[in-house]
Every structure is written in structure tokens, then in C-alpha cells.
Structure 1
Amino acid sequence: MFDTMTLTKVVGGVCGAFLIYLLGSWVGESLYHVGGSHGEETASYVIEVADNGGGGEEQTVDFATLMASADAGQGEKVFGKCRACHKVDGTNATGPHLDGVVGRNIDSVDGFSYSGALEQVGEVWTPENLFHFLENPKGAAPGTAMSFAGLKKPEDRVNLIAYLDSLGG
């Protein structure tokens, strides 16, 4: 059934198909190549945008201005990201309870074992300390056990702080 001629035809067919594939790939690259000559890259389509004079720099907004526009209702929605580890009913979970956190001493919840890294943030959870900590917890307090990546939007952070402040203690 399998003789030398059949095996030769199969190998020849596979090699021929591979050769046609390589030739087609080379022709396609030649026809539709968008790069410049000698390997330099060129854009095939350029989108022009107006210059806003910012020079690509991020605009910084004053913390007090941000806090003045904070919305505790929106902060309650943002708290959904914290709910997996923190409670606001006075009981601890994976993390300490957060009711009354604004103005509370850092590392001061009874019955919760802290890592000791939060002491780098300051002595009291002021709105400013919370604002910077919530942006990047691991960056603000290297060695903290908190695995949360942080809240990148300043509006989310101030809204969350306003919500936590509204809970009192």
C-alpha cells in the first residue's frame, strides 16, 4: 500500500505547498508593506490633533479643590472595590473596619494585626494621607499586607474619602 512512489508524492506535495506559502507571503509583503526603505518605520495614516498648550503634561489639581467637589454618594459606589476586604460596621474582615477611619490614628484598630508598614504614611489618617495612600498603597507604604493596586483617578479617591468621612466613627 505504501510504496516509495506514494511516500515521494506526499513529501513532494508538502514541500510544494510550503514553497507556495512562502512565495505568497513574500509577494504579499512586497505589495502591502507600509514601512519605509531600509527598515525605517513610517506611519500609514497620521491623525492631526490640536495642541492644547499642555505639552503632554498632566494637569495637577489642588487637593482642597478636589475635596470641595467630592461626592459621598459616588464614593459609596467606589467603596465597592474595598468591600471584599473592609467593612464599615465596626467589625474587622481581611482588613480593618473603615468606619471612622478619617481622623483616626494609623494602626489603631483594636483586634487587628497590622504589618507595621503603614507607619511610613504618617500618624493619623488625614484626608491628604488617605488620598496619597489610596493612589498606590504598596508605593506609599512598602511592605504593607494590603494587596489592592490603588485608585488611579483622583476623583474616585476624594469621593471615597468623602464617603468614609460621612460614616463618622
Structure 2
Amino acid sequence: MKVVTLLGSARKKGNTARVLGWVEEELKALGHEVERIELANKEIKGCLGCAKCKETPDAIACIQKDDAEGVLEKMIEADVTLFTSPAYFWGFTAQVKSLMDRSWSLVTGFHTPDHASLVEGQKQALLVTGGGQYDNNVEPLFTAFGRLQNFYKAVNAGELFIGGCTIDGTMPEDAKERAVAFARGIVE
């Protein structure tokens, strides 16, 4: 399988990148093709809400010319897309949120019988790291991701939250074991 991973953290060696590295290592060991896209290195402007992308339902067709189109094209070509983000104030990082907003261009006819998506049927997964626990902390990210899957007409291949992480890189002892099991699960 071709797996695209979207590193949504600005810290290239932070907790999210570290856990994602374990996931990617396992995916490669299982024989899958893995491409990491570091969103912090991309220029992805916010969605204008102009709806010009809706005029061409079989293409991305966003009028903005930045790195979003290239990332979205990689998502379309992938068998699995893995979104990753540290939890920032009960939400995704700005890098992830901008891409999600711009992915509006992948879908037409939402809430109608003509609902179509350029990533329909694709497996997608979510990996989140954070300092706190799940409750009253990161559950909004997972709720939003579930709704995004419905919007994309995609298949939720798995979700993983590694809480108890600190800025200095301390994380739970079982974090790597959980990351490896998660990697196996998203490509089953």
C-alpha cells in the first residue's frame, strides 16, 4: 500500500514526529511505501470560502496557488492517509487545520444525493499526541476527524492518542508498542 503521512507538528523532532517515526518504520518493515509530508514546511493558505472549487467536481480546482494542491494530490494517490497533530488548545495545529479547510476542494454535493469525493473509500487514520489525558482535552479532535471521514466518504482505519507527553520528550513507556500496533492496524 502507498501510505502518505502528514506531520502536523512544527517540531520536526517533537513527540508527534517521534511517534510517527515508529509508525513509519513499522509500515516500511511490513513492505508498504511511505511518504512523509511535513506540513510546517509547506505554504498552505487558509480557505477563502469562494466555492470556485465546486465548479469542477472531478479535480481539486482551488484558485489559490500554494502547496495545498500538491499535498491534496498526494492524498488522492494514496491508499492510506495518516493525519498527525499534537493537541493545541483542544484542537489541531494551524498546519493541519489549514489543510483540512483546503480539502473542501476534494468534495462536492455534501448533504445531497450527489455527494462525491476525490478520496472516497480511502483509508485514513489519526495520530494525536498531547500532555494531558483524552477526556476534556483531545476528544474534539477525534470527533472532528470522524466528521471529516463522513465528509470525505473515507474509511476510518484507526485512531491513536498518546497522552502524558512532555515538551522535553518524555512519554508513556508503552508509546512505541502502541505506535507499532497502530501501524499494523491501519493497513489491515
Identify the TM-score tier after normalising by the shorter chain.
under 0.3
TM-score by length of 2: 0.24
Greater fraction of residues in strand: 2
Q: What is the TM-score normalised by the length of structure 1?
A: 0.26
